[in-house]
Amino acid sequence: MRALPMAVGRGAVACATPAAAVPRRSLLLSTAAASAALQSEPIRLSSRSTSGAPKLRASADAAQAAATSFVSKEEAFAWAKKDNRRLLHVVYRVGDIDRTIKFYTECLGMKLLRKRDIPEEKYTNAFLGYGPEDSQFVVELTYNYGVDKYDIGSGFGHFGIATDDVSKTVELIRAKGGKVTREPGPVKGGKTVIAFVEDPDGYKFEILERPGTPEPLCQVMLRVGDLDRAISFYEKACGMELLRKRDNPEYKYTVAMMGYGPEDKNAVLELTYNYGVTEYDKGNAYGQIAIGTDDVYKTAEVVKLSGGKVVREAGPLPGINTKITAILDPDGWKSVFVDNIDFAKELE
């Protein structure tokens, strides 16, 4: 996808030249397998299934799919709204995982929740956050052996971290050697005090002043070419709510907050539209968001009924039987839905 010149605004960044394709992997096999659907190099998963199991599983999948049919689109969209969903983690690639872990724990105050090296697949993963994975939104870092740099592109915006005092947080980050790219002050077109810092790989973090928040890792910002189209997709296909929408004509951008609960208590997806920009270069660094669901089969059907693209059909993964489905939004951003019960088992 070619990069277009961007309007000057809060979401504006310089367009990057696409880098050569690199292997894309992640820790949870559910996330890794979903990525394989979009790549020429397959991700090899260990399988404990016996001879004949794939046919049995395929039959079970077909039976499950047949049982999830909705009477109408309205029924399907209503079900998605009632489904038990939350943002689980966001996946992206880094060039030096130990360096990134050090920055996130020392400068951003995160905790290393778990780390796993898979030498036979030549990758390492680490999960970090401000609380346990079974209740908090966390980051999943992926390091692919021998790859020390990625192209972030112009489409990915930033991650958001809520804190009691932005100025104190920024000074701590600066003292630890972190890069501050925007000093504390009111957001353009608003009153919320924010600042921006950059991690060693160039990912931007917006530090927001929001005292007492139960979800410090609070947002992922992605740029889209048609905001109304994107809002409709996430409402219908993903069952999200439009929490708020704000137009800033002075700075030529509009933002919409989408999520599964109040913005001050839940992690949300921030969609940004810069006036006149319809396409973005996505690079090869950012991966996807994982979302919990009670039924991946119904989820996939809802996505199809909404006109969305399913890139990994619903069903269990070989070897571990975690059920997932992977989708793309109209701008090409990927989400992976993971069965809630299966996800809980993976964390045991």
DSSP one-letter code for 44 = P
Q: Which of 288, 291, 282 is nearest to 238 (CA)?
A: 291
Structure tokens, 67: 């049982």
Distance CA 44, CA 241 (A): 36
Q: Which active-site residues does the annotation give?
A: 206
Residues 5, 151: contact at Cβ < 8 Å?
no
Residue carrying structure tokens 């030549």: 122
Three-class secondary structure of residue 257 per DSSP: strand
- Interior angle at CA 46, CA 151 and CA 54, nearest 5: 110
For residue 137, report the phi and psi dihedrals to the nearest 5 degrees: -80, 130
Q: Which of 85, 87, 164 is nearest to 133 (CA)?
A: 87
Distance CA 28, CA 215 (A): 22
Distance CA 207, CA 111 (A): 17
